[in-house]
Structure 1
């Protein structure tokens, strides 16, 4: 049991100064005053939250937890992420996925890594598949994976408008979207087709075509990397005005003339009076960040990390976005869109996933499933093979 006292609570709406009582892995009680009985009561750890802000733990829906990359050869395969790579950056829930490499990385390895991180203390899910269409699954189909495997919630990341993908036709994408939707309906999951948008000439056009040429609801489609160039950034606002949902990549900065930072694109969207609940953000952590020249030759390779999530929140706030709005794309919005009950909010009955931030919005403490993972800016729980 854990009691956090005298902390400013953002759920993400500001609730004022409160005390938060956590019992096992749930938030049991939130009140201005909570007294612990002095006799005949289990031991309660008390954290003083004076001067700190409590916000929901971050939900990162696009993480290469078992590594990614390989576009520059085998030496460019990025390593697996450790538990503290996530927790020290405030991520308490993540969705793992494959990317370009569906050969040396596979769904069995992805699922095993997700289960390992779950046993170490955070909450994990997976997308099934990789860039390819037909994509790679654990069972005989995307639909079967979603229905029969608890951690799998949809398909992704399927490459669209990218020279590294398999150039799926409109019919291929519609079929795949139907598979994910029906799998979600049967299993009670989100059943989302999560699409990687590349630098190709068509941009978001294939996603517009899915909407135009089928009866697929917007709620089952989530294109990502929309801030990678000006074409996609412009198209995504049009898509949002139609009722669509998008994911912005916090790991994309102003690295090129066309790239737009996540906070910049988010502010542009808010100025259009579009609901923040149609926007999610994710880091692309663990994946390689390759740069190609006009001839498709790899010129540079970096690695994404989860730290960009909190960076994006800070940048939004520093630019004048209220904290309540800055938090939504990495907390309440993905929880609602992905159908994660009990996630993304600080409320009684919800999962005890929260972050305590100092006055500079640095992470002081992280609680995941009721357990303190980071305290006084340092990890308190490490992954099995981490160097402590």
Structure 2
């Protein structure tokens, strides 16, 4: 039931790929939807040459066009003094679409988040991670700077955080910091879907994937989870679909639709 995609490459630029080029990875590998994380202003990778950074981003865009995929360029911004200077140079010297850039780790400093707000105003998507559990602080800073809220996403990326941290952070922001759920939710759902150009994700509508999480409105405890129409959790218990035939484990199985049942 779960949906999983990946980027080709990593911190280095030119990026290492599976087929020899970013464009071909997008064309020939179904799961690849973009390039990243391309690192700038970070001690763990050399600052990329602008022409190399431009080629990686443009190849991702063109590969996406040819394969009918997002073709996103995912940018990792470190804590170096240059901050987003390489991106500004790229956009000044090359014809690129700001909406194709997804820039992460913007909550490292106030100087960096100010630059992120400017990038978001140009149409880039910017991302706050959950490092040090300080999302609520940086979210408030972003709002005070009048950053475009439709361009802001939240990820569990930093420190290899588990995806469950996203839910824990929503819970903490509402129950402990007083944010409204209806204000927060889009940064974790619909904004991310738009940033990654996944039109079937991030909202509930006819023809879209049936991804639903149901929780207690008072305690925020998760009750039910449906992914692409498959029930993965019911009444707080995990539902293991397609149980291995040789497994001796005890499973509680719910919601498996029989072939003769009418389609929903």
User: TM-score range with shorter-chain normalisation?
Assistant: 0.7 to 0.9
> Residues 146 and 180 of structure 1 are in contact (CA less than 8 Å); yes or no, is this contact kept in structure 2?
yes
- The whole-number CA distance in structure 2 between the counterparts of 1:242 and 1:345 is 25
Q: Paired residue for 1:309? A: 166
The answer to whether 1:124 aligns with 2:4 is: yes
> Residues 104 and 126 of structure 2 are in contact (CA less than 8 Å); yes or no, is this contact kept in structure 1?
yes
The answer to whether 1:171 aligns with 2:28 is: no
Match of 2:233 among 344, 365, 374: 374
- The whole-number CA distance in structure 1 between the counterparts of 2:51 and 2:136 is 34
> Residues 75 and 102 of structure 2 are in contact (CA less than 8 Å); yes or no, is this contact kept in structure 1?
yes
Q: Paired residue for 1:253? A: 132
- The whole-number CA distance in structure 2 between the counterparts of 1:272 and 1:355 is 32
Q: How many positions carry a matched residue from both structures?
A: 244
| Cα shift at 1:273 | 4.1
Q: Paired residue for 1:335? A: 193
- The whole-number CA distance in structure 2 between the counterparts of 1:379 and 1:357 is 14
> Residues 100 and 195 of structure 2 are in contact (CA less than 8 Å); yes or no, is this contact kept in structure 1?
no
| Cα shift at 1:345 | 0.9
SS at match of 2:199: coil
> Residues 189 and 338 of structure 1 are in contact (CA less than 8 Å); yes or no, is this contact kept in structure 2?
no
Identify if the C-alpha distance between structure 1 residues 126 and 212 changes in structure 2 by more than 3 Å, giving closer, same or farther.
same
Q: Which runs of no fewer than 5 residues in structure 1 stay unpaired?
A: 1-120, 255-260, 290-302
SS at match of 1:227: helix
Considering fraction of residues, name the structure with more strand: 1
Considering fraction of residues, name the structure with more helix: 2
Match of 1:199 among 61, 79, 89: 79
Q: Paired residue for 1:221? A: 101
| Cα shift at 1:272 | 4.1
- The whole-number CA distance in structure 1 between the counterparts of 2:100 and 2:194 is 13
Match of 2:206 among 348, 371, 374: 348
TM-score in terms of structure 1 length: 0.58
Match of 2:90 among 194, 201, 210: 210
| Cα shift at 1:196 | 1.3
> Residues 267 and 321 of structure 1 are in contact (CA less than 8 Å); yes or no, is this contact kept in structure 2?
no
Q: Paired residue for 2:155? A: 282
Q: Which runs of no fewer than 5 residues in structure 2 stay unpaired?
A: 251-264
| Cα shift at 1:338 | 1.4
Question: Where do 1:1-388 residues align within 5 Å?
Answer: 121-250=1-130, 252-253=131-132, 261-284=134-157, 289=159, 303-318=160-175, 319-358=177-216, 359-381=218-240
Identify if the C-alpha distance between structure 1 residues 162 and 136 changes in structure 2 by more than 3 Å, giving closer, same or farther.
same
Cα-to-partner distance string for 1:125-175 (whole Å, 9 max, x where unaligned): 110111112211111200111122221111011121111113211222112
Identify if the C-alpha distance between structure 1 residues 275 and 199 changes in structure 2 by more than 3 Å, giving closer, same or farther.
closer
SS at match of 1:132: coil
> Residues 276 and 325 of structure 1 are in contact (CA less than 8 Å); yes or no, is this contact kept in structure 2?
no
| Cα shift at 1:218 | 0.6
Cα-to-partner distance string for 1:295-323 (whole Å, 9 max, x where unaligned): xxxxxxxx522222012222333434322
Identify if the C-alpha distance between structure 1 residues 362 and 237 changes in structure 2 by more than 3 Å, giving closer, same or farther.
same
Higher relative contact order (CA 8 A, sep 6+): 1
Cα-to-partner distance string for 1:72-116 (whole Å, 9 max, x where unaligned): xxxxxxxxxxxxxxxxxxxxxxxxxxxxxxxxxxxxxxxxxxxxx
